[in-house]
Amino acid sequence: MGQGTQGMEGQESVIDEQLTAATVGIILVIALFNGSNYFLSNRTVEPFSELGILGPNQKIADYPTSVYAGQNFTLYLYVGNHEGHVMYYDVLVKVGDRSSVINENVSLASPPIASYSIVLMDNQTYLKPIVLSLSHAGTDERLVFELWDYRANVSGFVYDHRFNQIYLNVTAPPI
Amino acid sequence: MHRRRALVAAFIFLILLLSSAQRAYSFSSSQVRQEIGQAYASVLDAEQKGGNVTGLVSQLNEAITLLNQGDAANKTNPSLAQQLYSSAFSIASNVIQLSPGVASAGVASRSLSLEIFASETAVLGILAFLAYLLTPRVFWSAWVRARRGWRVRKA
């Protein structure tokens, strides 16, 4: 009888411990969730900006390949901000050729033929139709779009290491 | 008496000169660009302090649009370009003036959310402590209460 009572008390004690552990565990999980929500909600893990040039149908296709000099053609400019804070962008449109040097670190050493400025909130995107024309005829003309962003510490725009390009054959306009 | 009249006339002339100078003051595209850059820096600062800068950003974009329109009109219609530059400049200046207020509101909002978080954490800590102390007692009293009407029968 005594042994049976001791056995039951032992069982109750195990149940007590399990119940306490489960209840405290649930509260701790809630506290952890609450804490992570507070500390990580405004944190951007991998900040980045997006630059895209879309064709006249707002797709990554149907880009013009051949235009007349002076002929207007439409493209769509896409910029996305995922930097974790508000950004002031400037997209410069430049013209080069196959021998022109441009990469993630060096911007094209040509004067811009057009520029588009926009201030974007974090996680905001921008899509705008742009009408361009090239004045000089040439084969494999390189239409370059560079993304620049404003840096308050230098009070000016700095090349953001992102560019897009399309190649065009520009022919003399028909007479 | 003559001296007094001369002084008054000089004062009026000075006022007219100043007001006409103010009217004739013109903005260049680069000045407006610089002001927009400063306005952006102030918006960035306000945002980093927790302020809601949505309205300021849309004002900045409005200023940029006016600046672009001014640049486009500058060759054909300089007076229109001046009006557009002036509007863009005043919007950017307004953004610079409004930013500190937005920043202070952000600081206050952050401080409030920190207080709420601290209170929630304290309440959860107290609940965890109480659960550690009272869970078995509460559970077993509920268990007994739920079986109050039970009768034991001899098997």
Question: CA of B114: which chain A residue's CA is closest?
Answer: A38
CB contact under 8 A, A16 and B135: yes
A119 with B113: Cβ contact below 8 A: no
One domain for residues A107 and A136: yes
Contacts of B109 (CB under 8 A, 6+ apart): B50, B51
Q: Which of A124, A115, A129, A111 is nearest to B67 (CA)?
A: A115
The predicted structure's pLDDT at residue B20: 46
CATH number where A140 lies: 2.60.40.3880
Closest alpha carbon within chain A to B127:
A27
ipTM: 0.82
Domain shared by A81 and A164, yes or no: yes
Query: Domain check: are A122 and A161 in the same one?
Result: yes
Cα separation, A98 vs A140, whole angstroms: 7
Out of A27, A28, A150, closest to residue B37 by CB: A150
Which residues does A118 contact at the CB level (< 8 Å), separation at least 6?
A79, A88, A89, A126, A128, B61, B64
Residue range(s) defining the domain that contains residue A123: 48-171
Convert the pLDDT of each residue in B16-27 to its tens digit: 544 444 444 688
A30:B124 CB<8 A: yes
CB contact under 8 A, B37 and A38: no
Contact call for A19 and B139, based on CB within 8 A: yes
Is A152 an interface residue toward B (CB < 8 Å)?
Answer: yes
Residues A30, A67, single domain; the answer is: no
Across the interface, of B36, B38, B128, the residue whose CB is closest to A24 is: B128
A157/chain B closest Cα distance in angstroms: 9
**How many percent of chain B have pLDDT more than 90?**
65
- In total, the C-beta contacts within 8 angstroms joining chain A to chain B are 75
Q: Which 72-111 residues of chain B touch chain A by CB within 8 A?
A: none
Indicate the residue type of B147: R
Q: How far is B19 from chain A (nearest CA, A)?
A: 32
Whether residues A137 and A151 share a domain: the answer is yes
Rounded mean pLDDT, A96-120: 93
Least confident of B30-34, B89-93, B131-135: B131-135
Q: Is the pLDDT of residue A12 over 50?
A: yes
> In this structure, are A37 and A107 located in the same domain?
no
- pLDDT tens string A18-62: 889 999 999 999 999 988 888 887 777 899 999 999 999 999 999
Per the CB < 8 Å rule, is B57 touching A30? no
Closest of B52, B48, B50, B55 to residue B112, by C-alpha: B50
- Whether A38 and A52 share a structural domain: no
A66 and A121 within one domain: yes
Q: How many domains does chain A have?
A: 2
Q: Residue B11: its pLDDT value, please?
A: 62
Chosen for mutation from A88, A131, A153, A158 (greatest number of chain B CBs closer than 10 Å) is A88
Q: Are A80 and A137 in contact (CB under 8 A)?
A: no
Residues A93, A123: one domain? yes
pLDDT category at B7 given cuts 50, 70, 90 is low
Residue of B61, B65, B99 to mutate, interface with A, max A Cβ within 10 Å: B61
User: Do A2 and A76 fall within a single domain?
Assistant: no
Chain A residues 41-80 with a CB less than 8 Å from chain B: none
The DSSP symbol for A84 reads: S
Contacts of A84 in chain B (CB under 8 A): none
**A111 Cβ partners below 8 Å, 6+ apart?**
A94
Whether residues A63 and A107 fall in one domain: yes
Rounded to a whole number of angstroms, the distance from the CA of B27 to the nearest CA of chain A is 19
CA B81 to chain CA mean position, Å: 30
- In this structure, the answer to whether residues A52 and A134 fall within a common structural domain is yes
Helix, strand, or coil (residue A75): strand
A126, β-bridge pairs: A79
Task: Output b/e per residue, A128-153; b: 16+ Cβ within 10 A.
Answer: eeeebebeeeeeebbbbbbbbbbeee
pTM exceeding the 0.90 threshold for the entire prediction: no
